[in-house]
Structure 1
Amino acid sequence: MVIEAPYYHQTDQESEVFLQTFQNRMPLLLKGPTGSGKSRFVEYMAHATGQRLITISCHEETSSTDLIGRFIIKGAETVWIDGPLTTAVREGAILYLDEVAEARPDVIVAIHSLTDHRRELFIDKLGETVKAHENFMLIASFNPGYQRGFKELKPSTRQRFVALSFGYPTSKIETEILVNETGVKQDIAKKLVAIGGKIRNLTELGLTETVSTRLLVDAAKLIQSGLPKRLACHVAIVEPLSDDAQTIESMKDLVDLMI
């Protein structure tokens, strides 16, 4: 069975950076706002290189034990089960730590020896050091603008990675993405992109996060499947961005004027 490549529209030289980083056995850090294409880029490049991709969506409870592995009781025996990080290190897969800054600090400690010349993982509970397979690649992502000052990566950690910055694409490319992802008509895609651009520029709304390409894709999907355009924009773009009644009403008014 031939697996179709994930759709991704390259906006810079990120593919070349990825390939050179992979060939040089270096870790890669993707920086950018929510829904700007970081995860899709990783999926696309894993497919392009023929590598297995293991993705971990990090959160405040993600620990090094979750990544490295643990002992479990199986019948009358206690057996060791490799975690996703250990599996990727042994087998030579791409390990993608999505929103790594959200994880507990011990996760960063666990990956330190994989992000320098050693490229090895120490499994404390086994007393074993595992040398990374030559095709192993560590990729992490984080959103620098989210809860600034609370969810930042330390400079000592950031400097262990080659880094790529992601932003929202130009209106032309974003329109193409919506058409390709959803099949929506181009004129509707252009209106959705215009709405996204307008809200992104309204800094006075005080939004923690702004309109991502992902939200625009969601709205386009709902429209394409038959939901009225204004309602689709209200539920897929406006409502996910805020809980403040006045802010929501302002954005709804803007949407109604533009579509």
Structure 2
Amino acid sequence: MQTYVVGKPQPFPVGTTFGVKAPKGLAVEGFVDDKNPFVPPKKPYVFRKDQLRDALAFLERPRGDGLYIVGPTGAGKSSLIRQAAARLNWPVQEVNCHRRLELTDLVGQFKLVNGTMQYMYGPASIAIRDGHILILNEIDFNEPGEIAGLNTVLDGASLVIPENGGEVIHPHPKFRLVVTGNSSGGGDQTGLYQGVLQQNIAFLDRFRFLEAGYMEPDEEVALLGSLVPEIPDEIRARMVKVANEVRRLFVGDDENPGTISTPISTRGLQRWACLALDFKSAPNALEYALERTVLLRAQPEERTAMLRIAKDVFGELWQAKADKGKGTPSQPDAASAAA
């Protein structure tokens, strides 16, 4: 049985590792080995200081807790941990939850391999054994009775696998459990997230919570600049403004519920920018890309409202080429020509 245990510990300076302002000499523990196949790949990511502080405090010293990250869709809940782990060379096991997910899917089960039945360890067993971070995405989609099977592990007890002859897996000291959800485990009170279930209160009591919201406008503009530098600053800034106007109508406030059910997430914003470049030869690349990013899955009245917001925000730039002002135009690619 091949294992991928975390390597030798190594301190990483917080400021230079995560691109944030931090006191000189402030470091967090990671690992020397960056060849572990379960270490996530590094991608551009803007770490927000408050969220990073809580995440690193948990990774450094969980004190028997799990970490529950709650926030709207596409706000970077999983990416926060995934990209922190990528910079610390910390291996990750990641699972997307759903109603049919069972504890055996996480722990392991016997499967037919080359004509013989072999016990195949699941992501939870691997993480617990080898000191990885286990991320359970959309935890509030899962049946609460199944996930509650991890309660004793969070309490520091060993994982016992009766199906594999009563095997006992002692938790590695670097094992961490992180879950994400659009709700905080009490069910969806907004009606925006179909399929969200109320979770077991005993399970929730074993977590500290971190709230992840959408980025500040200047942070999202900077992120888009690192991902799609061909798009001018003015176009990127207005894309972000459109996204925030749509999110405001999605979230609503204490007095008025949200009037739009399809937000433009940070993930969607990146897709809009990339598609605007791919289809830059279209009569209106910004509108064409926005349609394929979010408008075509929105209700007709919501589609009209979002398109009106975009036109109002961009004004005379609405017909502009996505890469206007970036030097000599490149030859259109196949996608541009088709558009």
- TM (norm. structure 1) is 0.88
State the 1:4 CA deviation.
6.4
Report the equivalent of 2:3.
Answer: none
Residue of structure 2 equivalent to 1:27: 66
Q: What RMSD over aligned residues (CA atoms) do the two structures have, in Å?
A: 2.4
1:218 counterpart (271, 293, 306): 271
Are 2:167 and 1:128 aligned? yes
Find the counterpart in structure 2 of residue 196 from structure 1. 243
Residue in 2 that maps onto 1:257: 312
The structure with the largest alpha-carbon Rg is: 2
- Corresponding residue number in structure 1 for 2:120: 81
> Does 1:7 pair with 2:44?
yes
SS in 2 for 1:250: helix
1:140 CA drift (Å): 0.6
Which structure shows the bigger proportion of residues in helix conformation?
Answer: 1
Alignment of 1:174-253 (within 5 A): 174-183=220-229, 184-202=231-249, 203=252, 206-227=259-280, 228-240=285-297, 242=298, 244-253=299-308
Per mean C-alpha deviation after superposition, the further-off stretch among 22-31 and 82-91 is: 22-31
How many residues end up aligned between the 2 structures? 256
Please give the per-residue CA displacement for 1:148-175, whole angstroms capped at 9, x wherever unaligned.
8942333332221121100011111121
Q: Which has the higher contact order (CA 8 A, sep 6+)?
A: 1
Pick closer, same or farther for the CA change 1:153–1:7 going to 2, 3 Å: farther
Aligned partner of residue 125 in structure 1, secondary structure: helix
Moved more, 31-40 or 71-80: 71-80
Percent same amino acid at aligned positions?
A: 23
Residues 27 and 162 in structure 1, CA contact (< 8 A), matched pair in contact too: yes
Residues in 1 aligned to 2:80 and 2:263: alpha-carbon distance in whole angstroms:
20
Shift of 1:206: 2.8
Q: Is the 8 A contact 1:32 1:142 kept in 2?
A: yes
Q: In the TM superposition, what is the alpha-carbon distance from 1:129 to its structure 2 partner? A: 3.0
Per-residue CA shift, 1:192-229, capped at 9, x if unaligned?
Answer: 11111211223476333422111111101111233401
Unaligned runs of at least 5 residues, structure 2: 1-33, 315-339
Aligned to 2:217: 171
Helix, strand or coil for the counterpart of 2:111?
Answer: strand
Q: Deviations 1:57-94 (Å, cap 9, x if unpaired)?
A: 11222211111111123355322111111111111111
Please give the per-residue CA displacement for 1:110-167, whole angstroms capped at 9, x wherever unaligned.
Answer: 211122233x323231223321111111111000155389423333322211211000
SS in 1 for 2:49: coil
Contact 2:91 2:132 in 1 (8 A): yes
What residue ranges of structure 1 are gaps of 5+ in the alignment?
A: none
